[in-house]
Structure 1
Amino acid sequence: MQNKVFSPFWVPIYAFALTVLAGAMVLMLDFCHPGRDLSFIDALFTSTSAVCVTGLVVVDTGTFFSRAGQNVILALIQLGGLGIMTYASLVVYLLRRKVSASDRVAVRQTLLHDPSFNLATFIIGVIVAVLSVEMAGALLLHAMDPDGFHTYSAIFHSVSAFCNAGFSLNTDSLTSWRGHLGINAVFSVLIIMGGLGFYVLAECARKIRWLVLRRKLPLQAHFFTWQTRIVLETTFFLVVIGALALLLAEKLGDESWGDILDVGLASFFQSVTCRTAGFNTVEISALTNVSLIFMIILMMIGGSPGSCAGGLKTTTFRVWIGFIIARLRGRSQTRVGWYAMTEDSINKALTLLVFGGLIMGGAVILLSITEGHGLPHPQARGHFMELLFETVSAFATVGLSTGVTPELSSAGKSIIISLMFVGRLGPVWLLTAINSWQSEPRYRLPEDDLPLG
C-alpha cells in the first residue's frame, strides 16, 4: 500500500498540493498585505493560481499586496513554472529514450538504468536556461519603457510571461501598451518560448548555434526532429489562424487602416496569450461572443508538452486532426507528419478530449448552480458564456477573465481552484495516478459489437 501511495505518479500531485497550501499560509500573513484582510479561500485561490501558473485573481496583485506579498507570488510562479517544466521535460526525456514501460513508471529506477543521464546537470540546465531567458526579457522591457516597467516590474512581468502565468502588477494588465509593437513583441516571444517546451527550445538553440558558427550540421533527413517540427508547425498555425479569426470576429471592415493595424496587433497578441498566458491588451468583457468562442477553443488547445503552458496541448490537437482526416479518407492509420500514431497515443488523445470535456462541462453546471442564484434564463442571459469562459480559462491555466472571478462565491472559488489544479496536472495524469491504485483483472470477458452512430 505504501508503494501505491508514494508511487511516482502521485509525487508531483503531493508536491504541488503542499506548495499551494504553504503559499496560501504565507500569503495570509499580515506583512503580505498590511492593513488588509485576506480570507483563507482568497489566499488559497491566489496561491493555486500562482503555482499552477494560471493568472486568475480575486484581488488586484499590484494594489492589494505589498512588495513582500508580490515577492511571494513571484516565487510561487517561478516554482510552479520551473517545477512543471523540469518534471514534464524529464518525462519527455524518458519517453524519447524509448525505455520500457515499467521503467517509465519507476522514474528513479529509469535514471539509474541510464548511466548517460545526469539528473543534476539536467535540472541545472533547465534552471539556467529559464532564468537567462527571463532576465533577457526583463532587460528588454525595462529598456523599452523604463517608467512603465521599472526594474522590479520588468522582472515580475518577464517571469510571469515566460512561465505563462499571466499575473500583472497593473490593474488593466497590458492594455496601456496595446499599440506598442516592441512591448507586444517581447511578451509574445516570452509566452511562445515558455509554451514550446524545454526540449523544443534546446533543439532550436542547438540548430541556431550551428548556423551562427557555420558548423556542419549532423547528417539527418530533416532539419528538425519529428516532435519539434510538429510543435513548431502547430504553434505557428494556431497563432496565425487565431489572430485572423479574432480580427474578423471584431468586424473591422469599417475601420481605417491605422485602426486595423492597431487592432491587428491586439488580435495577434490575444491569439498568443489566450493559449495559456493570461495577459490582455484589450478588455475581454468588451469582445464579441464570436471572439470569445474562438478564444475558448485556443485556450482548450493550450501549449506544448514539457512546457509551462496548460491546455490539452498542441500535439494532442494534431492527433485529433489526423484522426478525423484518417476517418474521412477511410484510412486505418492516423498520420501526423512523417509517422503514423500508435493506438496508445490515439487512445490517450481521445481520453484527454473526453475527460477534459466532462470535467469542464461538470464545472460549468456546478458554477451555474453556485453563481446562478436561481435566476430564470431571461434574467441570466449571457451568464452562461461568462461561466464557460471562466471554466475553460481555469482548466487550461490561462488566466483570462470576463470579470466574474472576483465576484465568485466561496463555493465558486473552490470549483475554480479545483479546475486550476486538475488542469495543471492534466486529467490523464490524475486518471493514471488513480489507476495506479487499481490492479488489472486476470481474466477477459467475451467481446461483441453494438450498433453505433
Structure 2
Amino acid sequence: MINLIKAKDLLDPPKILVLGFAFLILVGAYLLTLPISTENGNGLSFLNALFTSTSATCVTGLVVVDTGTTFTTFGELVILSLIQIGGLGFMSFATLFFFLLGKRISLKGRLILQESLNNLSMAGVVKLVKRILIYTAIIEISGAVILSIRFSFDMPIGRAIYYGLFHSISNFNNAGFDLMGGFRSLTPYASDPFVTLTVASLITLGGIGFIVMNEIYEYRDTHRLSVHTKVVLMASLILTIGGAILIFIFEFGNAKTLQPLSFMGKTLASLFQSVTPRTAGSNTLNIPDLTQPTLLLIIFLMFVGASPGSTGGGIKTTTLATLIGTVWSQIKGKEDVVLFRHRIVNETIFKALSVTSIGIFIVSTITILLTITETGSDFLTVLFEATSAFATVGLSMGLTPELSPIGRMLIVFTMFAGRVGPLTFAFAIAMRRKPDPFRRPKGKIMIG
C-alpha cells in the first residue's frame, strides 16, 4: 500500500512536468555534444551543451557560445526544436502525436495538460491544445514570411527564408536565440520597422498566453472577456508603453544607444527594448551600453515577465497586478481586493505572494552565489544575469560567456527553476490544499 502511494506521488502532474523538461534537456545536451552539431566537428563540451540545451528548452536565450558561428545547420535545428517543444510544452507535442494516431487523451493526460498550460480548469483543455497548435503555426509562419522578405534584401534568398523561420520561432516562443553572429542579436535592425515591429509582435503574442489569445479569438461569438484576460491585457499594455517611455527618456542622450538614431529609430528601439525583457532576450540596443536607470528598469521588467499559460517566464503580469491590487486595497482600508469589478479570492492572493517570494529568494540566492564564484564582476551585472536566467529572458550584459564552470551550473539551475519552479509550486499548493480539521486561535503580530 505504501509503495502504491509513493508511486502515485512520483507521477503526479507537477513532477511529470519537471521530469519531462529534465529528460528533454538531457537529450538536447547529448545531441549538441555530437561532432555533427558544431562547425569545428568536435561537438560542444558536455557543460556547454547542457547550458545551451537548458537555455533552449527553458526558452531563455542565454548563450555561452555564439549560436550563429558555432553550430552547423543540424545543431541549429536541434536548438530550434528544443525551443519549439520547450515553449509550447512537451505535453502539447505529445497530444499532437495522439491526435495523429487517433488516440484519446486519458484523464491523467488531461491533468498534466491543465498543469502545463496553467489552465484554471480541465474542461476543454484538449480543444485548447488543438487551437494552440493552430495559432502557433499561423503566427510563426506569418512572422517567418515577413522576416524572410526583409532579410532577402541583405542575404541570399535561401538563407533569408531559413533566418526568417528561425527568428520567428525563436521570438514567438520568447527564446531570443539568433543567428546574426558575434552576439549582435538584432542590433543592426534597431531602426528597421519591419524587423522591429514584427519581432515585437511575435514576442507580445507569445507572451500574453494562449488562454488570452483564445478568448480574443472567441470574442466575436461570446462578446465577453474574463477578468484574467482583462488583467493580462491591461498589465501588458501599461508595462510595455510605460517601459518604452522611460527607456526613451533614460537613453535619449546616450551616445552609445539612442542618440545617433532618428526620432523614429529612437521610438522603435525604445519600444522594442521595453517588449523584449518580457521575456524574449532579443535586443536592438547593446545591453552593456545602457544607462543604469534603464538596466534597473529592465531587471524589473524581466522579473515580472510574461503572462500565465504563455511561452514566457517571470512571476507573471497577473501576479504583479494581484499584488498591486492587494496593496491598494490595504491603503484604501478595504477588506476585498477588486480588479475589474470582481473580487479576487484569497487563494489567488496567497499564490501570488508565494510565487513572488520564491522568485525573490531564487534571484537573491543565485546573485549572492555568483558574486562569490564570478570574482571581478560588479553587482549590477550579476543581478542582471541572475534575473534574466530566472525569468527565462536571455538578455545579458556580457557575463554569460565568461562564467566559470560553477557559475554556468548555477545559471543552468536558475533557468530550469525559473521555467518550472514557481509555476509547479503554485499548482502543487492548489492541488494539495486540504481543509484543516480545526482552526487554531488567532494570533496578532505587528507589521510595518
TM-score class normalised by the smaller sequence:
0.7 to 0.9
> Which residues of 2 match residues 140-289 of structure 1 at below 5 A?
140-146=146-152, 147-148=154-155, 150-171=160-181, 172-207=184-219, 210=220, 218=222, 223-252=224-253, 259-289=262-292
1:251-287 CA-to-partner distances (Å, cap 9, x unmatched) read 4399889633322211100100111000000100000
Q: Letter of the aligned partner of 1:190 in structure 2? A: L
| Counterpart Cα distance in 1 of 2:417 and 2:387 | 12
CA distance in 1, matches of 2:290, 2:446: 44
Match among 369, 379, 382 for residue 384 of structure 1: 379
Give SS of 1:150's match: helix
Contact 1:230–1:315 (Cα < 8 Å) also in 2: yes
Kept after mapping to 2: 8 A contact 1:51/1:76: yes
Q: State the TM-score, normalizing by the size of structure 1.
A: 0.85
Judged with a 3 Å threshold, the aligned counterparts in structure 2 of structure 1 residues 251 and 16 are, in CA distance, closer, same or farther, namely same
1:40 aligned onto 2:49: no
Kindly provide the amino acid, as one letter, of the partner of residue 290 in structure 1: P
Could you say which residue in structure 2 is the equivalent of 1:427?
A: 422
- Residue 431 (structure 1) shift: 6.5
- Map residues 131-142 of structure 1 onto 2, 5 A cutoff: 131-142=137-148
Distance 2:236 2:124 in 1: 29
Spell out, residue by residue over 1:133-164, the C-alpha distance to the aligned partner (whole angstroms, 9 max, x if none): 10111001111231356111110000001000
Q: Which residue of 1 aligns with 2:18?
A: 13
Change (3 A) 1:118 1:359: closer
Take 1:354 and 1:402, find their aligned partners in 2: how far apart are those partners?
A: 25
1:445 Cα deviation from its structure 2 partner: 4.8
Distance 2:254 2:66 in 1: 36
Cα distance in 2 between the residues matched to 1:166 and 1:52: 11
Match of 1:124 in 2: 130
Deviations 1:182-207 (A, max 9, x none): 11111011110000111211222233
Where in structure 2 are the equivalents of 1:396-411 lying within 5 Å? 396-411=391-406
Find the counterpart in structure 1 of residue 295 from structure 2.
Answer: 292
Cα separation, 2, equivalents of 1:435 and 1:179: 46
Q: How far does residue 125 in structure 1 lie from its aligned partner after superposition? A: 2.5
Change (3 A) 1:256 1:14: closer
Q: CA separation in 2, counterparts of 1:200 and 1:226?
A: 10
Q: Which residue of the partner structure matches residue 311 of structure 2?
A: 308
Structure 1 counterpart of 2:162, one-letter code: Y
Residue 191 and residue 4 in structure 1: after superposition, are their counterparts in 2 closer, same or farther (change >3 A)? Answer: same
Measure how far apart 1:451 and its partner are: 2.8
Report the equivalent of 2:84.
Answer: 78
The AA in structure 2 aligned to 1:6 is L
2:355 and 2:426 in contact (8 A); partners too? no
What do you get for the CA RMSD once the two structures are aligned?
A: 3.0
Aligned mate of 1:52, from 43, 55, 58: 58
Over 3 Å counting, the alpha-carbon distance change for 1:269 and 1:326 in structure 2 is: same
**Contact conserved, 1:276 with 1:302, CA < 8 A, in 2?**
yes
Q: Which residue in the other structure is 1:376 paired with?
A: none
CA contact (8 A) 2:189 2:284 kept: yes
Contact 1:9 1:105 in 2 (8 A): no
Q: Distance in 1 between matches of 2:237 and 2:162?
A: 32
3-state SS in 2 of match to 1:10: helix
- Indicate conservation of the 8 Å contact 1:270/1:281, yes or no: yes
Q: Is the 8 A contact 1:310 1:424 kept in 2?
A: yes
Establish whether residue 320 from structure 1 lines up as the match of residue 332 from structure 2: no
Change beyond 3 A, Cα 1:437–1:5: farther
Distance (Å, rounded) in 1 between the aligned partners of 2:57 and 2:260: 42
Aligned partner (choices 22, 28, 31) of residue 27 of structure 2: 22
Aligned to 2:111: 107
Question: Is the 1:45–1:57 Cα contact (8 Å) retained in structure 2?
Answer: yes
For CA contacts below 8 A with separation 6 or more, give which structure has more relative contact order. Answer: 1
Residues 252 and 260 in structure 1, CA contact (< 8 A), matched pair in contact too: no
CA shift for structure 1 position 55: 0.3
AA aligned to 1:351 is S
Distance 1:170 1:289 in 2: 27
Count of aligned pairs between the two proteins? 417
**TM-score, scaled to structure 2:** 0.86
- Partner of 2:355, secondary structure, is helix
- For 2:444, give the aligned amino acid: D
SS at match of 1:340: strand
8 Å CA contact 1:276–1:396 kept in 2: the answer is yes
**Following the alignment from structure 1 to structure 2, what is the Cα–Cα distance between the partners of residues 142 and 319?**
40
Distance 2:320 2:234 in 1: 12
Q: Which amino acid aligns with 2:56?
A: A
Instruction: Classify 1:110/1:235 alpha carbon distance in 2 versus 1 (closer, same or farther; 3 Å).
Output: closer
Report % sequence identity: 38
